[in-house]
């Protein structure tokens, strides 16, 4: 795990300033405090910050092939690198290190850009091909590792984090107003654009080739939901799943440094702990965070239960409202992209604790997106079934939904009746936020008139609408799983996981997001994932003899953070001072009176905590990356 950056000038006579690459590296020192390296060759400069995980003594980067004509900077881990190394040695390639990085260099020599199709792991890297005068950027299939770039008339600048790109004085700091609305629609930013104009994410499963100033963007992988003509029986599928989970967990434990588990007390992280404990003779350390606030589900008793079941060394901590408030400016500095993800603050603190004991963490991230673990999937599938049986909407249907509240765990029927009259997938575009927002009755009502007129609502949801068009013939469940895997997962959950752990110089690995696991899950019938009102059915059945029943049968809690209470009480003055500040008003986005009403409503009823946290995050992003307020990084 590392941080990478670089610049390619399109004019072959325009040399890259080594001081620029050094400055870019300084901004991402936290990603790799163990080593630093630069490669400069006329029009190109590559930089690397290293967090040593594999081949501690000889893995220095940038790294080249035998004759120094192919150079790489790499962030991530290749879990099948030993197998690939054997293949390349047989082809006559000569290795100087034992690192997975060097495998990519020789694989590129052998296969060119198609080398990415052979890699199993998480990665973001840049390869400079001196002979072809080509820069090759690639990102892993799921988007576990971030990679940003800015393409101008004269150059391409890239980095693991946006702040490194902004270290180049030639890059303008300018907000894209249309992305403000996209963020406030989804409460994260799906798609390849970022809040800053011109700075883009390299999409998961894509690579970018730049030759003579001409960029060529290509997709090399997509998640396919095609089903075999004859599906395996549920029992056979469970057996295949257990074998696959055992294999991927073992691969994700490859390291020359201590490895621990981020334990949530849920099914997925407990399963990862179980498989990991069977594949090492060393004691595994597990780490959990909790809260003492009344009314908040405390995950720690379940995490302790899992730890005891598998004999791990257990560590836990509690964070407070003050911890949350103190970290907010640095939350924005590290996250860079506006994301309504309060649990990220908890992840930062538990990562900080874990870093005292380990250098690598495994987590259970991804199981819900692969195997349909969110109640949202079940609810919408049943909602569509109600709609198909009841056209037009009738009182009987509304009564049925109301009666189903208690056993379906639906929010109150008044929230779902408007969706009964909408067309899927329209109301799913903003499913992570208020379902009314899609119809313009949410945060859009806060906009100043001039800003509201400038917004193209179709543009705001365009990335998700485009993805839906790829799977419109699939089942509703597969459509939702595909969209979440392509947007919610990389643009919210994984960016949180990467940025918060790397803020503490800690590598996070996600065995359940191995692309072979996702492909296997996608090949299964929907009924294997949702059975009646049960979510994640096949995974729970497969793990029924491995995971304690108290964990297996408990209601899903997510990662509960009592930020709603904190925003209404401990942090109410802080949020008011930010959102009603003159500087915030001068952005020209929101009506002050509407913001005041929103704050009052949340104070009285607690109904707009996500919206308020999102607005605070948005303003702090402006101050940090547009105004250049470096105080946010302190």
pLDDT, tens digit, 9 for 90 and up, residues 545-573: 999 999 998 877 666 688 888 888 888 89
Name which of 148, 210, 212, 240 is nearest 491 in CA terms: 148
Asked whether residue 86 carries a pLDDT value surpassing 90, the answer given is: yes
Nearest to 339 by CA among 499, 201, 468: 499
Phi-psi region of 550 (alpha: psi -120 to 50; beta: other; left: phi over 0): alpha
* pLDDT greater at residue 457 or residue 98: 98
Catalytic status, residue 621? no
Q: Is the peptide bond before 425 cis (omega within 30 degrees of 0)?
A: yes
- Token readout for 111 is 């296969």
Peptide bond into 494 cis (omega under 30): no
Question: What pLDDT, on a 0 to 100 scale, did the predictor assign at position 249?
Answer: 97
Distances (CA, A) of 359 to 33, 170, 554: 12, 36, 31
When mean pLDDT is compared across 1-10, 403-412, 459-468, the lowest value belongs to 403-412
pLDDT band at 138 (very low <50, low <70, confident <90, very high): very high
Q: Which helix (H) or strand (E) holds 36?
A: strand 35-41
Averaged pLDDT, 58-82? 94
Q: Cβ contacts of residue 2 below 8 Å, gap of 6+?
A: 31, 32, 48, 49, 50, 51, 61, 73, 74, 75, 76, 160
> What is the per-residue DSSP string for 303-338?
HHHHHHHHT-EEEEEE--HHHHHHHHHHHHHHH-S-
- The more confident residue out of 588 and 1 is 588
Domain ranges (residues) in the chain: 2-176+193-219, 563-633
- % of the chain with per-residue pLDDT over 90: 68
Evaluate the omega torsion of the peptide bond into residue 296 and state whether it is cis, within 30 degrees of 0.
no
418 pLDDT band, cuts 50/70/90, is low
Report the mean per-residue pLDDT for the chain: 89
Q: Which residues of 283-299 are buried (b: 16+ CB within 10 A; e: fewer)?
A: ebbbbbbbbebeebbbb
Task: Give residue 357's pLDDT band: very low, low, confident or very high (50, 70, 90).
Answer: very high
CA distances from 445 to 3, 437, 451, 613 (A): 40, 9, 11, 17
Give residue 430's pLDDT.
55
Backbone angles phi, psi at 33, to 5 degrees: -80, -5
Spatial distance between the Cα atoms of 366 and 274, rounded to a whole number of angstroms: 17
Q: Are 219 and 476 in contact (CB under 8 A)?
A: no
Q: What is the pLDDT of residues 460-516, one digit of tens each?
A: 889 998 999 999 999 999 999 999 999 999 999 999 999 999 999 999 999 999 999
Q: Compute the distance between CA of residue 408 and CA of residue 412 in angstroms, rounded to an integer.
A: 11
Which residue's entry shows tokens 């994932």? Answer: 529
Categorize the per-residue pLDDT at 225 as very low, low, confident or very high, splitting at 50, 70 and 90: very high
- pLDDT above 80: residue 582: yes
Write down the catalytic residue from 2, 5, 115, 621.
2
Give the confidence band of 440 by pLDDT, cuts at 50, 70, 90. very low
**Residues 364 and 269: beta-carbon distance below 8 Å:** yes
Closest to 164 in 3D by CA, of 180, 178, 146, 177: 146
In the CATH scheme, what is the code of domain 2-176+193-219?
Answer: 3.60.20.10
DSSP letter assigned to residue 587: T
Span of 69-78, 171-180, 392-401 with lowest mean pLDDT: 392-401
**pLDDT exceeds 50 at position 599:** yes
């Amino acid at each position: 795990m590392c941080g990478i950056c670089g610049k390619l000038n399109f004019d072959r006579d325009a040399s890259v300033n080594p001081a620029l690459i050094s400055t870019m590296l300084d901004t991402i020192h936290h990603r790799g405090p163990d080593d630093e390296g630069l490669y400069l060759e006329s029009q190109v400069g590559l930089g690397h910050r290293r967090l040593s995980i594999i081949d501690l003594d000889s893995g220095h980067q940038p790294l080249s092939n035998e004759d120094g004509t192919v150079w790489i900077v790499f962030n991530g881990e290749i879990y099948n690198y030993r197998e690939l190394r054997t293949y390349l040695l047989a082809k006559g390639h000569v290795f100087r290190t034992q690192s997975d990085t060097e495998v990519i260099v020789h694989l590129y020599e052998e296969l060119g850009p198609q080398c990415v199709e052979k890699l199993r792991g998480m990665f973001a890297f840049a390869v400079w091909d001196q002979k072809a005068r080509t820069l090759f950027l690639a990102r892993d299939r799921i988007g576990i590792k971030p990679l940003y770039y800015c393409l101008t008339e004269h150059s391409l600048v890239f980095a693991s984090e946006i702040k490194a790109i902004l270290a180049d004085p030639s890059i303008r700091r300018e907000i894209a107003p249309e992305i403000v609305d996209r963020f406030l629609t989804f409460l994260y930013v799906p798609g390849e654009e970022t809040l800053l104009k011109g700075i883009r994410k390299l999409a998961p499963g894509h690579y970018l080739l730049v030759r003579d100033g001409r960029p060529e963007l290509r997709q090399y992988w997509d998640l396919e939901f095609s089903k075999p003509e004859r599906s395996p029986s549920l029992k056979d599928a469970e057996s295949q799943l257990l074998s696959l989970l055992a294999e991927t967990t073992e691969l994700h434990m490859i390291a020359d440094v201590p490895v621990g588990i981020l334990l949530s007390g849920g099914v997925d992280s407990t399963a990862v702990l179980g498989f990991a404990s069977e594949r090492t003779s060393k004691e595994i350390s597990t780490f959990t965070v909790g809260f003492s606030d009344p009314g908040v589900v405390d995950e720690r008793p379940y995490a302790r239960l899992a730890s005891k079941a598998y004999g791990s060394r257990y560590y836990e901590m509690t964070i407070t409202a003050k911890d949350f408030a103190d970290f907010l400016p640095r939350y924005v500095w590290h996250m860079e992209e506006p994301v309504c993800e309060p649990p990220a603050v908890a992840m930062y603190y538990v990562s900080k604790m874990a870093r005292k004991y380990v250098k690598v963490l495994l987590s259970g991230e991804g199981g819900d997106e692969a195997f349909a673990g969110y109640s949202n999937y079940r609810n919408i599938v049943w909602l569509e079934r109600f709609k198909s049986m009841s056209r037009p909407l009738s009182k009987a249907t509304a009564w049925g939904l109301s009666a189903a509240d208690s056993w379906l765990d639906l929010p109150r029927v008044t929230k779902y009746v408007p969706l009964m009259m909408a067309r899927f997938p329209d109301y799913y575009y903003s499913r992570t936020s208020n379902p009314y927002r899609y119809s313009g009755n949410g945060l859009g009502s806060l906009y100043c008139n001039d800003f509201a007129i400038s917004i193209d609502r179709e543009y705001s949801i365009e990335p998700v609408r485009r993805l839906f068009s790829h799977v419109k013939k699939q089942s509703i469940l597969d459509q939702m799983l595909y969209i979440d895997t392509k947007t919610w997962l990389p643009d919210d959950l994984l960016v949180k996981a990467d940025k918060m752990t790397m803020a503490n110089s800690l590598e996070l690995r996600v065995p359940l997001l191995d692309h072979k696991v996702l492909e296997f899950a996608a090949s299964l019938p929907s009924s294997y994932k949702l059975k009646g009102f049960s979510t994640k059915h096949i995974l729970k059945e497969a793990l029924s003899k491995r995971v304690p029943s108290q964990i297996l049968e408990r209601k899903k809690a997510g990662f509960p953070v009592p930020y709603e209470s904190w925003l209404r009480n401990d942090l109410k003055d802080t949020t008011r001072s930010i959102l009603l500040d003159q500087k915030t008003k001068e952005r020209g986005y929101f009506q002050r009176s509407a913001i005041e009403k929103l704050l009052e409503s949340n104070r009285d009823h607690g109904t707009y905590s996500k919206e308020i946290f999102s607005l605070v995050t948005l303003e702090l992003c402006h101050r940090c990356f547009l105004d250049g307020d470096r105080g946010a990084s302190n």
